[in-house]
Amino acid sequence: MKFRYLPITETDKKEMLDKIGVSSTEELFSDIPEEVRLDRELNLKKPVSEFELKKELTEMASKNANLTEYRSFLGAGVYDHFIPSVVDHVISRQEFYTAYTPYQPELTQGELQAMFEFQTMVSVLTAMPIVNSSLYDGGTAVVEAVYLSVAQTKRKKVLISAAMHPEYRQLVETASNGKKLEIVEINYKDGLTDLKQLEQELDENTAAVLVQYPNFFGQIEPLEKINKLIRQQKEAMFVVSSNPLALGYLTPPGEFGADIVVGDTQVFGIPAQFGGPHCGYFATTQKLMRKVPGRFVGETVDRDGIRGFVLALQTREQHIRREKATSNITSNQALNALASSVAMSALGKNGVKEMAKLNMHKARYTKQKLEEANLPAAFNGSFFNEFVIKLSKPVSVVNDQLFEKGFIGGFDLGKAYPELENHMLVATTEIRSKEEIDVFVKEMRDING
């Protein structure tokens, strides 16, 4: 078998071995003790040619029902949005996708500037002055916000809204075991964080309050009131996880006094791809800048006075601080941050607002039509592009039947909230047409009939 990624010929090999002064490559491995040597070939599937592999993997991919063939009303943290063609053309440039982290700024000005622009775009959307150049995903960003809050306040109690993404809450739970944190879940009431319980739990041991905006049910949390409650307990950190697309229309958390705003930019230019890679963002105040996890790109000048960009504030990071680092994070999601930057650039100031509003209009139309079909909404507050409806049957049964009709139905809330059995979280984005919504509603009525 020949391997097209391996250029060393037999002649090369011989010349190289001569130069090294050995007779075979085996000698170069002679430092591996006999006892740990593998004395057989690895038992893997046989290598396949490019043509055959592509055929096989295309067949494997076609076993998945994909969102370009099915009309999806599924969201729950991952959304099916329009991705402009420019995005893939930019991120397919090898200069971007094959490069390493830009530790050598003279050769990586393109990447560095793109990340600086990303930081600026997220800053503009969230109304927070300090933004890093991305984290793994929205969930990781929430965990890092908890770490930072605990480090900053030197307290161990964390209040987390039950209306936050259930998986994000689970991640915080897992992480709390490393740092021995006390995690208190604040219930929801009418689809919003229960402010009474929040007030009762807030005390001088509280490191942070975590809410989601819009929350997991799509509802718009009253950030103004929550901030007022937190400020009575001065030093607790106000952490908001936020869908950045919603911030095209909603007042940004930065204007409500948030200390840390996190989330995922998957909504801008990143396909669902079975849950990852997506792209976390982390935004905060000037005061907390030197404790932020991950990488920052900063502006500076070269020796001729030309503007350039570098990784800034690296002394916070693990490769310098080692066990004293605030976080162990190394890689980020640069390529996905770039994809989001391109999508945000294409949308621009007006597009992001228009797209947010399109989502709101279409989601309201879907909700209204479902209600007319006797499928009542569970909560009646203002929402973004997702809402909860009560079904007459188990969600899994309904979804199976919807699937037969070419639809991917909403999220089964009973899986994460036992009290919400037979409740479906329905998302409608800008890509759903009126006709698709009408057919979906008709099927829903028939199934639940």
Among 182, 190, 203, 299, binds another protein (CB under 8 A): 299
Which range touches another protein (CB under 8 A), out of 152-160, 201-209, 226-234, 243-251? 243-251
Q: Shortest Cβ distance from residue 241 to another protein (Å)?
A: 12
Q: By the 8 A CB rule, do 144 and 262 touch?
A: yes
Q: Does 382 bind another protein (CB under 8 A)?
A: yes
Of 394-433, binders to another protein (CB under 8 A) are 396, 399-400, 403, 408, 411, 430-431, 433
Shortest reach from residue 59's CB to another protein, in Å: 8
Residue with tokens 């279409």: 362
Q: Per rule CB under 8 A, is residue 48 in the interface with another protein?
A: yes
Determine if 12 is a binding residue for another protein (CB under 8 A).
yes
Stretch that binds another protein, among 155-163, 190-198, 233-241, 289-297 (CB under 8 A): 289-297
Angle at 246 between CA 244 and CA 247, to 5 degrees: 65
Smaller CB separation from another protein, 274 or 419: 274
Among 344, 389, 398, 441, which residue interacts with another protein (rule: CB under 8 A)? 344
DSSP 278-291: --EEEEE-GGGGGG
Q: Residue 55 corresponds to which tokens in the numbers above?
A: 């055929």
Point out which span in 152-160, 186-194, 341-349, 370-378 binds another protein (CB under 8 A): 341-349
C-alpha angle 276/277/278, rounded to 5°? 95
Q: What angle do CA 112, 114, 118 make, to 5 degrees?
A: 115
Contact between 14 and another protein by CB under 8 A: the answer reads no
* Identity of the residue numbered 77: G
* Residues 303 to 322 in contact with another protein, rule: CB under 8 A: 303-304, 306-310, 312-315, 317-322
Q: How many chain residues bind another protein (CB under 8 A)?
A: 204
- Using the rule CB under 8 A, is 55 a contact of another protein? no
Among 257, 298, 406, 414, binds another protein (CB under 8 A): 298
154 vs 319, beta carbon nearer another protein = 319
- Per CB under 8 A, which of residues 222..241 are in contact with another protein? 224
Distance CA 315, CA 217 (A): 40
Nearest to 110 by CA among 295, 347, 308, 314: 308
Q: Cβ of residue 265: shortest distance to another protein, in angstroms? A: 12
Residue 446 class from Cβ within 10 Å (0-12 exposed, 13-18 middle, 19+ buried)?
Answer: exposed
Residues 349-368 contacting another protein, CB under 8 A: 349-355, 357-358, 360-362, 364-365
Q: 60 to 119, contacts with another protein by CB under 8 A?
A: 60-69, 72, 74, 76-78, 80, 82, 84, 86, 88-90, 92-102, 104-111, 113-114, 116-117, 119
Put the strands of the sheet holding 260-264 in their side by side order: 130-131, 280-284, 260-264, 237-242, 206-213, 157-161, 182-186
Q: For residue 217, what are its two tokens?
A: 């049910």
The answer to whether residue 177 forms part of the interface with another protein (CB under 8 A) is yes
Q: Which is nearer to another protein, 60 or 419 (CB)?
A: 60
DSSP, res 187: P
Is residue 25 close enough to count as binding another protein by CB under 8 A?
yes
3-state secondary structure of 333: coil
Min separation Cβ 87 and another protein, Å: 10
Six-digit token pair at 375?
Answer: 């499928």
Regarding beta strands 130-131 and 280-284, do their DSSP bridges make them parallel or antiparallel, or are they unpaired? Answer: antiparallel
213 beta partners: 242
Nearest partner of 256 among 281, 287, 292, 220, judged by Cα: 220
Residues 166-196, buried b or exposed e (16+ Cβ, 10 A)?
bbbbebbeebbeeeebebebbebeebbbbbe
